[in-house]
């Protein structure tokens, strides 16, 4: 194994399930959705049994069918963009067929609900419109590793990633430039297994009902991030009869439960996951020396106070532990913890004013210990202890001042306390004046910065013409630990060219402060730097075809400035002790630029055949020492395709293929030198930063999902095949150097990403 690498293994779980020989008879609900005034069929209307996973979309003739429904009482909900929703109670005795014809009446979309932001993708528990990119069922049944919500969306346009990590880059920007929120609270570093390149997120995919990802041009209520926004909402459609889900997958065993109380005015949700990678590794006696463990717990309670107020309480706790070491590495012992607790209040004051308030507290802790030697030569003693406490209050208000005028405003106030205790001692061999010498390096930092951050915004929205909606926003942010304030003006516009075509545009300035927990003390730099800045320019066109196919074309440019120094490893991106490696380097970019064109065509109606196809052309660069240099995840060309075939309600076959041109990397150069003693010495150095390119990456994944209805319960079993044709993709190179003919000769071997991985898993909802 190359130094510092940890390779994930092919892991699986076997589930043996038995079902009764006689299953209860299942019912069929079918019908047609039409426009009330004209009788015109409404293709792609969302049809769902509330509180269940039974959902579909109307076909081109407005017809729909829901099959395999157990006996019971349900509420059938029908929605379509631009029409008032319809809800009907139905009762099924078992084995019967119910015909339901639904008429929807046109309804004006409130000004505050019009989407003015381009670069926006959605995941919803219900298909409210044909423009929803993914449904909750899509997230569960598309090919993916680890049953992870972050991994499930990684094939969306503008995102890039690689096999080992759940993090994704947004149009060339790293994940820490993306604002992540869960039920209104900001999640900082929302990942498990940070020393294994953040392999999984701390958010359970089973609990996510709605998700919105914005990859550029986001509006003024979002501050302190340069690149994008990821908003997640947990499931809220609690059923009168509690529903519990048990799951088993490649990474974990999980349980979740949800239901109602107080006559439906209250709802609750609870979830728990425990990773079992440590148990599987021991059972198969593989990857000696690695012992990873993780868990997360989540829960919420919501209560409706009358018709206009809803209060909620939420908790989220995640923990990780890892020990690692072999004969060529120091022993690593790490512990990470994330705890969040928050209260929410959503209120309506009359018919025109709404508000959302979130009061939260967070505690994050990092502990990392390293002790031993590299290849029995270089010694290391490392102690890294860090902590962060945050208290945050945020309010967002919306007022409909008139039919063509709305006003949004709000603020957020945050107080934080950070703690750094860092010590690293290393003894190593260096070449000094043609002589090998032993040197000792020591880095010590003991800091406890504190501070407050305040942000306020105002964003009037106006409709000067019926098809045109404009929003002009202005945001002010101040951070006490840097002593600066920043102004961020933004403008967004949407113009409807008829019912099926919309043009969206955005321009704005964005700032991101140096976080209290982001000091580079491990690299000897304890300084806070000024806020980084980005300017977004986005223009997009969306069109809906009558067949339910959605088309999108979008061009963007993001210009970055005031960039702070960054410490990177030039040769190896998966080191468990990155700060003490010989390839550690400081980069001082002065400005950056990301430009691209994204094309997307998709049909996701929940029918027999859903698909999506996207293409992206992009350039992401930074200026370093006067030269434009590609960023590490610069993907010049990207293609992604997904297809889901559902012959009936019981089976789903999904496949996904993705391709992108090779990432840039920094090559190594070796030369032969002579010591003062006359002995030869191989000396290594690095070429220009990111001047070389890896081979192109491509991968084909498959997943088959089988759904069994057993009484009132549902069992889903899946078989997933990651990298089905076993493509050898690379993340970098390792070098073996020898002396031949009086010169140094280097032979390189690829740092391989994941091979073919078959996995099996299941979930049981009852």
* Structural domain includes residue 699: yes
Domain final residue pick, 38, 72, 107: 107
Structural contact between residues 641 and 615, judged by C-beta atoms closer than 8 angstroms? no
Same structural domain, 120 and 94: no
Residue 279 belongs to what H/E stretch?
helix 277-283
Looking at the fold, whether 82 and 168 belong to one and the same domain comes out as no
Distance CA 459, CA 401 (A): 13
90 and 130 assigned to the same domain: no
The residue written with tokens 């209250």 in the block is 266
Give whole-number Cα distances, 238 to 268, 270, 311, 503, 712, in Å. 7, 11, 15, 37, 16
**Same-domain status, 31 and 146:** no
Q: Which two tokens stand for residue 241?
A: 């009869």
Q: Residue 621 CA to chain centroid, in angstroms?
A: 23
* pTM of the shown model: 0.86
Among candidate residues 56, 74, 107, the one where a domain is terminated: 107
In a domain, 470, yes or no: yes
Q: What is the CATH number of the domain that holds 62?
A: 2.60.40.1120
* Domain residue limits at 81: 27-107
56/128 same-domain check: no
Using the structure block, give the residue that is written with the tokens 């609690």: 238
In a domain, 754, yes or no: yes
d(CA 670, CA 141): 48
| Domain identity same for 63 and 166 | no
Q: Are residues 204 and 72 in the same domain?
A: no
Q: How far apart are CA 185 and CA 360, in angstroms?
A: 7
**What percentage of the chain exceeds 90 in pLDDT?**
52
Per-residue pLDDT reduced to its tens digit, 259-304: 999 888 899 999 999 987 766 556 545 556 788 899 999 999 999 9
- Same domain as 438, residue 352: yes
3-state secondary structure of 578: helix
470, two tokens: 């404009």
In a domain, 22, yes or no: no
Give a yes or no: residue 20 inside a domain. no
Indicate if 91 and 204 belong to the same structural domain. Answer: no
In the block, residue with structure tokens 């039919």: 403
Assigned domain for 7 exists: no
Positive or negative, the CA dihedral 224, 226, 230, 231 is positive
Residues 722 and 754 in one domain: yes
Q: Does a structural domain hold residue 170?
A: yes
**If we measure between CA atoms, which residue out of 318, 321, 315, 360 comes closest to residue 337?**
318
Residues 122 and 91 in one domain: no
Stated length of the chain: 766
Residue that terminates a domain, selected from 76, 107, 138: 107
- Asked if 552 and 544 count as a contact pair (C-beta separation under 8 A), the reply is no
Do 200 and 165 meet the contact criterion of CB atoms below 8 Å apart?
no
Q: What is the pLDDT of residues 499-530, one digit of tens each?
A: 889 999 999 999 999 999 999 999 999 999 99
Is residue 315 packed enough to be buried (19+ CB in 10 Å), middle (13-18) or exposed (0-12)?
middle
Same domain, 136 and 155: yes
Q: Does some domain include residue 481?
A: yes
Mean pLDDT per 10-residue section of the chain, whose length is 766 residues: 38 34 65 84 79 73 82 82 79 83 76 74 47 61 80 88 91 95 95 90 87 92 95 78 85 89 90 80 61 93 92 97 84 96 95 95 96 83 97 96 92 97 90 81 95 97 92 97 96 90 95 97 95 97 84 96 94 82 92 96 80 95 94 95 88 93 93 82 89 96 90 88 94 88 86 88 90
Instruction: Please name the helix (run of DSSP H) or strand (run of DSSP E) that holds residue 488, with its range, or none.
Output: strand 484-496
Q: How many structural domains compose the chain?
A: 2
CATH number of the CATH domain containing 153: 2.40.170.20
């Amino acid at each position: 194994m190359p130094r510092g690498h940890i390779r994930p293994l092919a892991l699986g779980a076997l589930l043996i399930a038995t079902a009764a020989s006689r299953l209860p008879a299942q019912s069929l609900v079918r019908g047609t959705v039409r426009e009330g005034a004209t009788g015109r069929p409404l293709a792609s209307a969302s049809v769902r049994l509330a509180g269940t996973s039974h959902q579909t979309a109307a076909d081109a003739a407005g017809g729909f069918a829901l099959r395999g429904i157990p006996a019971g009482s349900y509420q059938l909900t029908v929605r379509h963009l631009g029409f008032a929703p319809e809800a009907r109670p139905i009762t099924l005795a078992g084995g019967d067929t119910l015909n339901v014809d639904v008429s929807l009446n046109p309804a004006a979309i409130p000004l505050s609900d019009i989407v003015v932001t381009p670069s926006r993708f959605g995941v919803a528990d219900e298909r409210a419109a044909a423009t929803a990119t993914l449904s909750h069922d899509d997230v569960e049944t598309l090919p993916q590793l680890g049953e992870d919500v972050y991994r499930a969306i990684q094939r969306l346009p503008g995102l890039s990633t690689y096999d080992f990590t759940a993090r994704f880059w947004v149009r060339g920007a790293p994940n820490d430039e993306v604002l992540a929120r869960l039920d209104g609270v900001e999640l900082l570093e929302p990942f498990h297994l940070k020393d294994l390149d953040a392999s999984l997120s701390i958010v359970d995919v089973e609990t996510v009902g709605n998700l919105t990802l914005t990859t550029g041009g986001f509006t003024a209520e979002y501050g302190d991030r340069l690149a994008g926004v990821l908003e997640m909402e947990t499931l809220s459609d609690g059923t009168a009869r509690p529903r519990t889900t048990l799951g088993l997958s490649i990474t974990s065993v999980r349980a979740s439960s949800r239901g109602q109380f107080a006559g439906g005015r209250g709802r609750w949700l609870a979830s728990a996951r425990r990773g079992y990678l440590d148990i599987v590794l021991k059972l198969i006696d593989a990857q000696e020396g690695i012992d990873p463990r993780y868990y997360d717990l989540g829960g919420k309670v919501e209560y409706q106070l009358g018709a206009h107020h809803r209060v909620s309480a939420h908790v989220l706790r995640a923990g990780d532990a890892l020990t690692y070491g072999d004969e060529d590495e120091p022993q690593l012992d790490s512990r990470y913890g994330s705890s969040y607790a928050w209260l929410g209040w959503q209120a309506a004051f009359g018919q025109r004013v709404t508000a959302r308030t979130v009061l939260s507290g967070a505690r994050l802790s990092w502990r990392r210990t390293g002790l031993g030697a590299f290849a029995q030569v270089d010694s290391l003693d490392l102690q890294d202890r860090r902590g962060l406490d945050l208290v945050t209050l945020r309010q967002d208000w919306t007022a409909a001042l008139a039919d063509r005028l709305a006003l949004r405003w709000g603020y957020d106030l945050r107080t934080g306390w950070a703690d750094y205790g860092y010590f690293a001692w290393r003894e190593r061999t260096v070449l000094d004046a043609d002589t090998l010498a032993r040197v000792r390096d020591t880095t010590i930092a003991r800091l406890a910065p504190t501070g407050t951050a305040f942000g306020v915004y105002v964003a009037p929205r106006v409709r000067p013409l019926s098809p045109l909606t404009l929003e002009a926003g202005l945001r002010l942010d101040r951070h006490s630990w840097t002593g600066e304030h920043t102004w961020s003006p933004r403008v967004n516009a949407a113009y409807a060219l008829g019912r099926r075509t919309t043009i969206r545009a955005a321009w704005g300035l964005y700032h991101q402060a140096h976080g209290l927990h982001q000091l580079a003390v491990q690299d000897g730099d304890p300084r806070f730097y000024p806020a980084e800045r980005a300017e977004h320019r986005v223009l997009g066109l969306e069109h809906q075809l009558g067949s339910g196919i959605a088309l999108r074309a979008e061009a963007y440019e993001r210009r970055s400035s005031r960039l702070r120094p960054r410490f990177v490893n030039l040769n190896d991106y998966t080191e468990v002790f990155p700060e003490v490696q010989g390839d550690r380097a400081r980069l001082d970019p002065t400005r950056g630029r990301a430009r691209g064109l994204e094309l997307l065509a998709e049909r996701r109606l929940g029918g027999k055949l859903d698909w999506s196809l996207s293409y992206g052309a992009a350039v992401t660069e930074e200026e370093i020492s006067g030269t434009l240099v590609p960023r590490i995840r610069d993907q010049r060309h990207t293609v992604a395709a997904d297809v889901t075939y559902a012959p009936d309600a019981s089976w789903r076959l999904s496949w996904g293929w993705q391709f992108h041109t090779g990432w840039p990397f920094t090559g190594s150069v070796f030369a032969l030198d002579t010591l003062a003693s006359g002995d030869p010495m191989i000396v290594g150095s690095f070429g220009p930063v990111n001047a070389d390119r890896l081979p192109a990456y491509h991968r084909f994944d498959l997943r088959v999902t089988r759904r069994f209805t057993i009484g009132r319960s549902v069992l889903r079993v899946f078989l997933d095949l990651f990298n089905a044709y076993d493509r050898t993709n690379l993340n970098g190179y390792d070098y073996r150097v020898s002396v031949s003919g009086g010169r140094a000769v280097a032979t390189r071997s690829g740092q391989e990403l994941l091979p073919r991985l078959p996995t099996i898993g299941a979930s049981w909802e009852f």
